[in-house]
Structure formats: structure tokens, C-alpha cells
Amino acid sequence: MSQATAQLPSAPPLVALSEDESLFRDNVRQFAEDSIRPKVREMDEKGVFEHSLIEQFFSLGLMAIEVPEQYGGAGGRFFEAILAVEEVSRVDASAGVIVDVQNTLVNNALMRWTNDDQKKRYLPRMARDTIGAYALSEAGSGSDAFAMQTRAQLKGSEYVLNGRKLWITNGKEAGIFILFATLDPSAGYKGITAFIVEKEFPGFSVGKKEDKLGIRASSTCELILEDCRVPKESVLGETGKGYKIAIETLNEGRIGIGAQMLGLARGAWESAAKYAQERKQFGKSIADFQGIQFQLAQMATEIEAARMMVYNAARMKDAGMNFVKEAAMTKLFTSQVAERVSSLSLEIFGGVGFTKDYPAEKYFRDAKIGKIYEGTSNMQLQTIAKLVLGK
């Protein structure tokens, strides 16, 4: 296999990039190679994300890609945020999810549901130096997201929140949280309200940081609310409409996870293809054996299909089209591809792939989360079935 055949195309023809998009992608890719890759192994081993990289994310505009320029953001499009997540995740999925949650969940929710005063208060911070987190899950409400027990009670000019949130990405680093609580448990999902909670609010604290299988440098934390006082003006959208904010924001976030899994699969494939051309057995590189060629070809084909799904869903979102089915299909398929590709890539490395001297084992560990967070694969299948079968 020649060096030329070990390179994936930069974009499939049906979703080709414009000149500006290609330049943006290339710049993010170079940054990821130069600044993130040298720190990946150490961050993974320590389970801590390098703060200097976060500062660079902000200085490069990667944390507020869609935020309008009047608030200090880049004024870009959702598709560009997806490109950034893909390219960063190609090097490190932990870095990718930090950029992803900031852009596709938190910033999207703030831009869509805040009033003018809230936009002026929060969007400049998101563009300048503040990481955001999205706090929905609890111990008893995972896939059944609206079985939450975190309670909000209006007392005078404040809401008082009590409860615990679990598995919150960016929990350690975040300064702003989009947090969901119920005003009336008897009302079911109609009692749920979204709040903008600042880390400094009285009664709010960050608890245990999880020790995870993969994306170890990305913090996943418990949030503790003990008579947490939240001003009335920190309600996001309308009271009782938190379920709508949660569902619609997660629909967009699934495309972001698709981009993360796409980038991860690309990174795993590229490392395996390079190694296959370097590794000699029986007097020639293992890439000269048809068995290895076929595996690499199959992986490359699946990655290209995943790329088309991610890019198509992102284009649909930017065009104002209904993309719910496509987002669910994208997350489902890309997480499957990332798991298969990272597994096969590790096998191409053979014994050394099972060690931490090569990146294969980390791609393999990182891939598993794609089928779990922001809606499990079974939940994506349920959504798809409802939309295609009318069930």
C-alpha cells in the first residue's frame, strides 16, 4: 500500500467544503497537531485537562464559534463548530468533547433561549474565558431524563434548588451550568424548568470527579445543590418549558457527538494505516498483505459514510431544516463506526497496540462513550423508529 492510498479524502464530494471552511479546518487541524497531541498521553494518565490548552481554545475562538461577533464570538455557523470538534477529536476525544459541549449544547441553548439581558450577561463570558456545562442527568434519570428529582421552589425573588446531578461533562472546569430542575414533580415533564446556574451561587458545589475508562482528561463530575439560591432572572426560557429546551438542544448535541466519533475514527485509522506501512513481517510491510488492505479499506469506507452523515446533518441544521432523524441516525452510526474502527485499528498494531506506547488503546477506550452519552444507542433507535415508522 503506497503512502497516497493511506490518506483519507479531506471531504466527500456530496458535502464538499468551501474554501473558507477548508482553511478553517486546516487551521484547527494544525493547532491540534502542534499543541494538543504532545500533551495527550500525560493528560490521559493524570485524568486532568491542561489549562493552558483551554486558554488557547478561547484565544483561537473555538469556544464561541456561533456566538455573534457583538458578544465577542466568531459569528460562524454550526457546521464550523462541527468541523472543529472533528479535527480536535482526531487527536484527542477529551479535547473534542470540551469544544463540543461548549458549542453545541451550552452556547446553542444560551443563544436560542436567553432574553436580551441574559445574552449580554453570559455570551461575552462564554466567548472570553468561561466554560459551560449541561446538567440534566441524575442517578435515577438517565435515558428517562424527565424522572429527575432535583427540586426548585420559588421563595421570594429567588428559586431554591436541592438535589444532585451526575455525570456532568466539564463539571470541574465550568463556571456556568445549564441546569434542569422540577418545580412540580406531579406535573411530570411539564414541571421541568431550565436555569442558568453560576458556580459561585450560594449552595452550589462540585462533587466527585469520576475515574473513567476513556476520555479521562475530560472531567465528569457530580453537582451538589443544597439550598442553592438562584435569582428569578436566571430562569432560561419559560418556567415549565425545560423539557423543550432539553430535547431540542440535545438534538443538536447529537451531531456534535457524531463529529467527535468521526474524528476519533479518523485518528485511529490514520495511526493504524501508518503503522501498517512501517511494520515488517515476512520480509515486507504488513500493508502489502491483502488481509490488512481489506481491513483498512473497509474502515475507510465506513469513516467516509460517517462523514457524509455528520456533514449532512450539520448542513441541515444550518439550513433551518428538520434534522431530528438525521441527528439520531448520525449519532447511532458514528458511534458504531468509531467502536469498530478503533477495535480493528488496535488489532492491526498487534501486541504493541495493547500497550500505552501507541495511541491505539486510547482510541479504543475513548470510543465506547459514544454509544452512551447524550442519548444511548437504544434511545437513538427508538427515535429513529418513531420517525420512520410513525410509531
The full set of domains in the chain, from first to last, is 4-131 (1.10.540.10), 133-240 (2.40.110.10), 244-389 (1.20.140.10)
pLDDT 10s digits, 334-384: 999 999 999 999 999 999 999 999 999 999 999 999 999 999 999 999 999
Reference 258, options 325, 312, 336, 310; nearest CA is: 310
pTM beyond 0.85: the answer is: yes
Q: Are 232 and 158 in contact (CB under 8 A)?
A: yes
The residue written with cell numbers 457524509 in the block is: 308
pLDDT 10s digits, 23-44: 999 999 999 999 999 999 999 9
pLDDT of res. 288: 97
pLDDT 10s digits, 249-300: 999 999 999 999 999 999 999 999 999 999 999 999 999 999 999 999 999 9
Alpha helices in the chain (DSSP H): 19-31, 40-46, 51-59, 78-91, 93-100, 108-113, 116-128, 242-278, 290-318, 324-349, 360-367, 377-389
Active site residue: 87, 138, 302, 374, which one? 374
The yes-or-no answer on residue 374 being catalytic is: yes
pLDDT of res. 5: 46
How far is Cα 160 from Cα 207, in angstroms, rounded to an integer? 19
Secondary structure class of 220 (helix, strand, coil): strand
pLDDT 10s digits, 183-216: 998 888 899 999 999 999 999 999 999 999 999 9
